[in-house]
Structures are given as C-alpha cells and as structure tokens.
Amino acid sequence: MRSVESTSTSTLLGGATGTGLTAEGLTKTFGSTTALNDMSATFARGVVHGLIGENGSGKSTFVKLVAGMHRADAGRVVLDGVPVADTSGTHRSAARIACVYQDGSLIDELTVAQNLDVIVEPALRPSAPDGSWHRQVLDAARLTDVEENTRAGDLPNNEKRLVEIAAVLARRPDVVLFDESTSTLDERGVEWVLARMRELADGGACVVFVTHRLHEVLAITSHVTVLRDGVLVAEVPTEGATTEQLVRHMAGREVAAFTRRTGAAPADAEVALRAAGLRAARCGPIDLTVRRGEIVGIGGAAGNGQAELIRALAGDGVDAGEVIVDGAPLRGAGSAVDAGTVFVSSDRRSESLSSLLSIRENYTLALTATSGRWWRWLRRRPEVAEADALADRYDLARSSIEQPVGTLSGGNQQKVAIGRMVARDPKVLLIEEPTEGVDVRARFDIYRSLVEVADRGTAVVFTSSDAGELRLLADRVLVLARGRQVAELSGDEVTEEAIVHAFTTAKEQQDARSAAAVADEARELDEKPEVVARRRAGLRPRRQLTFTPATFGLLAVLLVALAAYGTARDARFGTIDNLGSIMQLSVPLALAALAQLPVLLVGEIDASIGSMMGLIVVLLSFRPDGSPAVLFVLAVLAGAVLGAVNALLVVGLRITAVIATIATLGVYLGVARILRPEPGGLINNDLAVLMGQGVAYIPLMFLVVVVLAIAVDVYVNTTRGGLRSRAVGYSALRASQLGVPSSRLRAAAYVLGGAIAGLGAVTLAAQTGVGDPSSGSGYTLLSIAVPVIGGALLAGGRGSAIGCVLGALFVAEVQTFIPFVNFPTGGYLIAVGVLTVLALIVGSARLSAWTLPIRNIRRLGK
C-alpha cells in the first residue's frame, strides 16, 4: 500500500522550483485598523519560515490574503514570479496553495470522511486498492482510532486539528501556511506536524509557520519574520536566535518573565470545589478536591478526557457522581453559575464569547449578568471605564472598545474571554486551555491575573496541553490518561519531565493492556483487531443523511392516518378520484418547496418564491397559444432570471437573504399587479390538458415531480457538488476556508430555485386558468413550511426533496380534508403551522446545538 506521506514527498521533490512566495507591499485595513502595512517579504522554497508577532500584529491577515479570503487594499502576492489573483479560489487550487487556519475549518456537522471529500480533490486522492483512501489519510496521521463516519464535531479538538492537517497534506500542497496549527496539540501531535513541515520543505514546498510557541519556531524554522502592529519589523535567521531576542522584536521592548508563585494556598483553606466519583463521556470516575486560592492544572496527552472533565466540573455532561461547590451539590450547568462557578471554553468562536457584540458589551454582560435587575438602565460611563480598564489591563489590540469581539484577532479574543470572567471574582474558575493562541506577553498577563484571582480566594482549575504552562502556573497537577487520573503532582514535583513521564508511562501500560484485550476479543470473534479496537473506543459508524428518518416516518403515519380518518368520516374522501386530485393539488406546492430547498441547503431563505410564481403565471397569461414545451422553457428561464436577481442582491451585494428576498417579493408582486391589475387573460389550454393526463390514476406531473425529487436527493447525497452545497449551509466561512466556492454555490442555489419555481408556476397556471397576480401569494409561507415539514433545517445543510413531496402531499391532503368535515378553510393554515413546529422539533436531531447560544448566556448567569 502506498502511503500518503511518501506520495506527497515524491511529487514535491519532482516538481517545485522557483523563488517562492513573495509579499509585495501588502496592505490591508479594516475600518480604522491597519492590520497589515506595506509588508514586503519573501518566503523561499525548501525551508520552513516562522512568522511571529504579538496578538493582533497582522499574521492571520497575511495568511488570509495569501489564501484569498481577503482582498488586499494595496500590494500583491506573487508565487515564483507570477502574481496570485486576488480572492480567486481556482487559481489558488491550481497553484496548490493550502492553509490550516487558526480556528479550524472542518465542518462539525459532516463526518470525517465527508470533510475529507470536500477538502481533497478527486485527482489528488491517494489511490487505495480497496477504495478506503480516507482510512489511508487518517492512518498516515496516526489517527487509527478515528472512525471515518464519526461526526467531526464529536472529535476531541486535537484529533479534529490533526484530521484537518492530514487532509491538507493529502492535497500535496506546494505552498502551505500553518496558522497556530499546533496550539491544541500535545507533544506527540506537535512532533508529527513539525516533521511533516520539514518533509514538505525538503520536498521543495514553501512552508510558513505562524505560531506563538517560540520553542517550536526555534526548533523547526530557518528564518523568522516578525510583525508588529501590521509592520514587518525584523527578518532574522533562526540559527543563533534566542527566545528573548524574538520576544524583544515582537514587543519592541523587554518583557518581564513570569515566575512561578511560591506561596500556594494553605492546606487548611476552605474546600471550594469537590468532585466525587465524577463520570462524563471519555472520563472518570474522578475524585477531586480544590481549596480556595488553589490553582490546579489538568494535563495529559491531548484528548484523554481533560475537556470532558472540566466541563463536568462546570455541571455539563455529568453521567454519574457529583460536583459540590461550597458544600452544595450542583444540578446542571445553570446551578453551577448560581453557585459561583464560571467556565471559559477553548471554543471562543461559538462558546466563550458573543462574537457580534462589542468588547464593551461582552465585558458588561459578564460583569452584570448576576447582579442588578433586568429593568435597570446600563450606566454607560462606568461601563465604558470598566471595559477600558480591562482592555488596557490585557493590552488588547483594538480599534475601539466598541469593536465587535468577533473581529478581534484570535489571541485578543482569548484575552477578553478570560479577562471578563476573572473580573467577576468567582468562587470557582474553570478554564480550558487558557493561553491557546496567545502571545508571550499576554500569556504572562493571563498567568498573573489567574494568580491574582487565586490570591483573592478563587479556586482555579485549568486544562492545558502544554506541560510548560502546567509547571509555571499550577500548584498541583492531575495527569489523565484515557479519562483516569494516573498521577497527582504538587509543589516541586510539578516539572515538565514528571508530567510527560506520568502520561506516557500510563498510556504505554494501558495500551499494552488494551492491545492484549483487543487481540483476545478479535480472536474470539474472528474480526480484524482494528475493527475491534475502534468498537471498543466507542466509535460507531454513523451515516450522515440530509434528512431525519423520523420525520419521514411521522409524515407517512400522518398521511395514512388522515386518509383513513377522512374515509371513515366520508367515503368520498378515500376514492381514487379524490386521491388523484390531492396529488394534483400537491404538484405546485411540491415544486414551490423544491424551489426553496437549494436555498435552504446553503443556509438561506428565499421569501420571494410565491410572488415569483405569481408573476410567471401572469406572464404565461399573455401567451394563450403556442406549444406547452415552449411555455415550460420560457417559464423556467423567467424563473432563473428572477432567481439571478435574488442572487445578485444576496451574494453580489451582500444583503441579508431574508431582507433582500422580502424586497423582491414586493417587487415581483408589484410588477405582476401592474401587468394584470385584475385577474385576466387565458392560460394555454394545452397546459391544463397536459396536467390532466395520468398513468394509472396518478397524475403525470406528479410522477415528474417524484422523479425530479429522487434525482435531487441522489445528487445532494451522493455527489461532491451536493456535499459542498451542504458544507456551505453548515458554515459558509468554513467551507470557503476548505476551498469550496461558497459564493458561487449560493448564487447557483437562487438561480436553480428560481428555475424550479418557474416550473411550479406552469403547473399553478394550468390549475388557475387565468393570469391572477395573487395566485402565488399562498406559496410564500408554504414554500418554507413544506420543506421543513419534509425534514429540512432552516439553519441549513439538511433537507430532502422526497421530504418536500411528502410534505406537499400531506398539506394538500389536509387542504382537501377541511371541506369534507366542514371546518373553516383557514383551519388548514393552522394545521400547517402546527405541523411545521412539530417537524422542526422532530427534525432537530441535534436540538442541543440549537440551544447553544442560550446556554452560553446561561453560563454567564441568569
């Protein structure tokens, strides 16, 4: 079997020549912030370059300019003398420019294999005799325990990062930028990534390594480029350089080192936090006692239950045992906040901060969350002063205190996340990876503030993959291996060697024990040891569908139950003729829903589908003659043009989808009313005749719709294009980072939706018979409700065309049922509303993810 590593190396060795990557006068501003100022530098081939600088100095901006995620205000990026086109994904793919971004790019909702499918172009995939190239890529990154069908979001952070790096390497990149790629990894992971960097460089690639871990810079790079406030301030050869020199270049002055605190909390201090027999996924049972003023670190090889343990201490995901804060047992994450516990997650983008709120609002939210009444006015002046003081305390690189937190650099976001919680003086402070992505100076500031808060009596517990950090900061260190505590070190015992030794020896012993157990089980069951090992790791293959089968089941039951009930009430309801007319009625509805589906899949909503259909019906009423085929083509083309208008507004002009399409809803309706102020004109009768045709009582158009729906579902679930569209729906930003042309796919969804709406308009026109401008009005709500009833998620990424057809059938059935039982006709709209809500509840298999923003606020307090 050919290994991925050897493939990439040999190709590079054969191919790459040239001067490398050059930045020529690159400048990028964001409002009043100059993130990068006239940067000119060359990153030659064949060596690893370090790019360092304090938080907010412009490193990620440079990476994003090279990757095409930002457009430069001035200057250009040149590769081997050839300019790299601004924001052109294709050009970058062709030049094999790849990035591993600071905050990760994998789409959590997709499986590992699906993420690999999105990232690695078919032509670059390693050829595996049994077709298991995913396995090959994972094994090359020593990720033998990671199952291809696991949701990426279910992987521990370090494994997620390694999967991403393995995928990027599998693309055999010629230029690779690693932005803080080792910050979530333990020694073993770091060692693997650094070795790959060296291999890539040896093969002639251009490798740029952006990091705050200066010892890694000194270990792997041959040249270091230093940025300060967006300006290139130094380019130095690594040989002979020291950490102190690099820090001086970065800060522009001497930086006082942090020294470990000596007087730890007295042994008789009050107990603030106690865990007894605590179990959570992948960890436990753990017993732990932390006293007031104590700083306890949790270490071990990454992904050994540290993240689960710290969350369990915050009352999240506890399977068994109890956590007691100040003598009172916790009941869930909400009660932890009430008890004075605060938790800072390492996932700052979606968990620890409110990205759209300003720096000031993020601070105020944390500081006032547990005090005062909700009707109290915010007192602006003290609020600003407090926020300014906190920002200064951590030397936050910002344009103003009103800057949205999401636009701060990664490390500065971390400073806000920790600073605001430290300022609350909590009883217990739980922090996951406190200095991930933070520069040396800020790292020391964060250490000092944690020591200060501990000195004031807070019990601090933190996880860290960095043994050096555990040594510097913790009074006591618990080392975990496979979720169990394997060592407890305190005082002078806390050294990097002791920590690493504790988890490596424990792991070796456990590996030996579990390898023997796996071999025994495999022998007994006659299975491959790898299969047994993965099963024992609790990793079960899970197939990702674009719909929830439960929704289909519910719809099928409702369809049959209503048919049975209707027939029992009135035998005419169950006649073949009536069932045929229900199918007939469902056709325009199903097409309206199918028109919405592509837009929903990419995570947006088109509110104009109904009025688009109404306008096309009116247009058709001006052509009462001619061949139906021509009318079909014209309607589809008209729909595509109207869809393109929506695409222009939403994608081209970046207007929020709902707002843009509500505007076009009005415009399309207005144009239809101008063309036909009153219903009038005749629809070509041949269309009605065509609609009336059927095969064995099933209307012909209904069959066409079913075939179309099957084709759409097959496309969405089995092709790369379908997968890429769903990736955009889950996160357009991450999809772009993976190299997916998000904007193009979003635009295509609107155009395709318009074309399908055109088709729906023809069937609607055939049913109405006249050019009625309001004929499409009823479809505005239904075009959104029916896909949801059929299992689509408004959040994007999921939905089924067959579900749309089933949903439309059910809505048409309800609509037909109402007159049979003499209910008011509006009753069916109420039924549709109730069903939509029901479908949303059933369909949201990951309901917990939806409540995440609410849980974040709860973490801060009620």
Sites of contact with ligand ATP (CB under 6 A): 30, 33, 35, 53, 55-61, 102, 397, 407-412, 437
Least Å distance, CB 200 to ligand ATP, is: 22
Least Å distance, CB 57 to ligand ATP, is: 4
Tokens at residue 702, please?
């209904």
User: What gap in Å lies between CA 726 and CA 732, rounded to an integer?
Assistant: 9
- 231 vs 271 by CB, closer to ligand ATP: 231
- 212 vs 223 by CB, closer to ligand ATP: 212
Least Å distance, CB 258 to ligand ATP, is: 19
Residue 453, classified by CB atoms within 10 Å of its CB into exposed (0-12), middle (13-18) or buried (19+), is buried
- 190 vs 723 by CB, closer to ligand ATP: 190
Check residue 325 and report its DSSP letter: E
Q: Kindly report the three-state secondary structure assignment for every residue of 224-261.
A: EEEEECCEEEEEEECCCCCHHHHHHHHHCCCCCCCCCC
Question: In sequence order, what E strands does 657-769 have?
Answer: 680-682, 694-695, 698-699
Tokens at residue 180, please?
């803080």
Residue 435 · residue 443 · CB < 8 Å: yes
The vertex-443 CA angle with 442 and 449, nearest 5°, equals 85
For residue 216, which phi and psi values (nearest 5 degrees)? -75, -35
CB neighbours of residue 825 within 10 Å: 9
Q: For 657-698, where are the alpha helices, taking DSSP H only? A: 657-675, 685-692
Look at the alpha carbons of 329, 330, 331, 334 in this order and tell me if their dihedral is positive or negative. positive
Tokens 């291996």 belong to 481
Residues 6+ apart with CB under 8 A from 323: 273, 274, 275, 278, 312, 313, 315, 329, 330, 336
Angle at which helices 742-768 and 685-692 cross, to 10°: 100
CB neighbours of residue 446 within 10 Å: 23
Residue 223: strand pairing partners:
49, 237
Tokens at residue 71, please?
């457009």
Least Å distance, CB 466 to ligand ATP, is: 16
Whether the ω angle into residue 699 lies within 30 degrees of 0, i.e. cis, is no
Least Å distance, CB 221 to ligand ATP, is: 17
- 102 vs 111 by CB, closer to ligand ATP: 102
Secondary structure of residue 504 in the 3-state scheme: helix
Least Å distance, CB 404 to ligand ATP, is: 8
Least Å distance, CB 366 to ligand ATP, is: 20
Least Å distance, CB 225 to ligand ATP, is: 12
Closest CA to 811 of 557, 618, 555, 631: 555
Closest CA to 598 of 810, 826, 797: 797
- 77 vs 318 by CB, closer to ligand ATP: 77
- 358 vs 412 by CB, closer to ligand ATP: 412
Check residue 376 and report its DSSP letter: S
The torsion region of residue 650 among left (phi > 0), alpha (psi -120 to 50) and beta comes to alpha
CB neighbours of residue 87 within 10 Å: 16
- 102 vs 783 by CB, closer to ligand ATP: 102
Least Å distance, CB 655 to ligand ATP, is: 19
- 57 vs 725 by CB, closer to ligand ATP: 57
Least Å distance, CB 60 to ligand ATP, is: 3
Q: How far is CA 33 from CA 30, 57, 77, 775, in A?
A: 5, 11, 21, 51
Residue 258 · residue 469 · CB < 8 Å: no
Residue 194 · residue 215 · CB < 8 Å: no
Least Å distance, CB 721 to ligand ATP, is: 29
How big is the chain, counted in residues? 862
Tokens at residue 491, please?
């005082």
User: What gap in Å lies between CA 222 and CA 232, rounded to an integer?
Assistant: 17
Tokens at residue 254, please?
């001497």
Residue 62 · residue 35 · CB < 8 Å: no
User: What gap in Å lies between CA 799 and CA 601, rounded to an integer?
Assistant: 7
Q: Computed over its alpha carbons, how large is the radius of gyration of the chain?
A: 30
- 138 vs 408 by CB, closer to ligand ATP: 408
Least Å distance, CB 306 to ligand ATP, is: 23
Least Å distance, CB 423 to ligand ATP, is: 20
Least Å distance, CB 34 to ligand ATP, is: 8
- 543 vs 654 by CB, closer to ligand ATP: 654
- 193 vs 323 by CB, closer to ligand ATP: 193
- 370 vs 407 by CB, closer to ligand ATP: 407
Least Å distance, CB 69 to ligand ATP, is: 10
- 61 vs 584 by CB, closer to ligand ATP: 61
Residue 528, classified by CB atoms within 10 Å of its CB into exposed (0-12), middle (13-18) or buried (19+), is exposed
Least Å distance, CB 27 to ligand ATP, is: 12
- 54 vs 294 by CB, closer to ligand ATP: 54
Least Å distance, CB 657 to ligand ATP, is: 21
Residues 6+ apart with CB under 8 A from 94: none
Residue 356, classified by CB atoms within 10 Å of its CB into exposed (0-12), middle (13-18) or buried (19+), is exposed
- 299 vs 437 by CB, closer to ligand ATP: 437
Least Å distance, CB 36 to ligand ATP, is: 7
Residue 138: strand pairing partners:
none
- 4 vs 193 by CB, closer to ligand ATP: 193
